[in-house]
Amino acid sequence: MSREEEQRVDTQRRRFLGVATAGTVAGTAVGSGALTLGGLAAAVATDAASAPRTEPVSKIHRWGMFVDASKCADGCTACVDACDQENGLNLQSEPHGSNEAKWQNQRSVWIRKVKLQDRASGHVTNLPLMCQHCEHPPCVDVCPTGASFKRADGIVMVDRHTCIGCRYCMMACPYKARSFIHEQVDQKLTRAPRGKGCVESCNLCAHRLDEGDISTACAQACADENHHAIVFGDLKDPTSPVRQAMAKQASRQIREDLQLNTGVRYAGL
């Protein structure tokens, strides 16, 4: 992104804030205007080898997802459950003496099922909301230690070795995608380290990708349920399932007014 563009983004965000205070933000949290895929870089079609990675990740790929909200079933939590299993989120235990409601609000969650209802028509839309893996992530902008970072292949992650738990990133994220680990976690999975005092969020199952397995637990679970609402793949590869799906159907970013060029795109909103 050039310096001029950077400046332009800045002014737009300020204008948006002005609008927001005037109280005219749409309930669905989706800005106006058609989405152009110009932000997604030109196609470089090389498949990741199906073997453990030996070279550092590169810009050749940009991992992302396409979510068709019209296929996302009401009451289905397959993606959330699969994510919990895959990333050890189900191993968190409620601290002694904590009340249930507070715990449910505090426990780490990587995917949230969000239900939107159009006030005028009553039409209900369900969608899974996770880290949107922005090209210009606000969480990275605000991190005082550089712990919040974007991997070369577009995955926005937290380096917990340098995270000090200040939670600025949680404040900055427009998608409420990040969670803070408040208590020591007794059981951990080798693939998903987790400890008190750090922030974490969806990492697009980076451990799978690093092993050459191009899939995420949520997309797989959704397909297993025969809903096929989540498609995962390489946004830079026009032959990838995610690009194929995006070519067929109009999709948009949530809060596209922020111009973050998210890696997760939604249809049916």
Partner 1 sequence: MRDYRFTTVPGASAAVALTALLWLGLAGTVQATGIGDFVVGSSKAAGLENCVEPTEYMRRNHMEVIRHQRDTTVYGGIRSTKHSLSGCVECHVGYDDKHQPVAIDDDDQFCSACHDYAAVTLNCFDCHATVPQGEAWNQVHPTMGHSLVPGVETQAAAATASAGSAAAPESKTR
- Judged by the rule CB under 8 A, the positions of this chain that interact with partner 1 are 52-57, 88, 149, 151, 153, 157, 159-161, 184-185, 187-196, 198, 206-211
Alpha helices, H only, the chain? 3-21, 78-86, 100-106, 138-142, 168-172, 206-210, 217-224, 241-248
Closest distance to partner 1 from the beta carbon of 48 (Å): 10
Which CB, 203 or 251, lies closer to partner 1? 203
Least distance in Å: CB of 57 to partner 1?
4
Tokens coding 96: 């002694």
* Terminal alpha carbon distance of the chain: 28
Please tell me the distance from the alpha carbon of residue 185 to that of residue 174, in angstroms, as a whole number. 27
Q: How far apart are CA 35 and CA 23, in angstroms?
A: 24
Nearest distance in Å: CB 66, partner 1? 22
Query: Please, what is the minimum distance in Å from the beta carbon of residue 171 to partner 1?
Result: 23
Q: How far is the CB of 221 from partner 1 (least distance, A)?
A: 13
| Pick from 233, 232, 173: nearest CA to 200 | 173
Would you say 216 and 184 are in contact if contact means Cβ atoms under 8 Å apart? Answer: no
* Whole-number Cα distances in Å, 249 to 44, 161, 242, 243, 267: 21, 40, 11, 10, 7
Nearer to partner 1, 71 or 182 (CB): 182
The distance of closest approach from Cβ of residue 219 to partner 1 in the complex, given in angstroms and rounded to an integer, is 15
Contact 257, 244 (CB under 8 A): no
Report the residue number, 217 or 235, with the smaller CB distance to partner 1: 217
Q: Is 183 exposed, middle or buried (0-12, 13-18, 19+ CB in 10 A)?
A: middle
Cβ closest to partner 1, residue 20 vs residue 152? 152
Output 127 or 181, the one with its CB closest to partner 1. 181
Going by C-alpha positions, the residue among 13, 33, 70 that lies closest to residue 252 is: 33
The three-point CA angle 88-90-92 to 5° equals 90
Comparison of 195 and 268: residue with beta carbon closer to partner 1: 195
- Tell me the angle at which helices 217-224 and 78-86 cross, rounded to the nearest 10 degrees: 140
Closest approach, Cβ 85 to partner 1, in A, equals 9
The residue among 232 and 266 lying less far from partner 1, judged by its C-beta, is 232
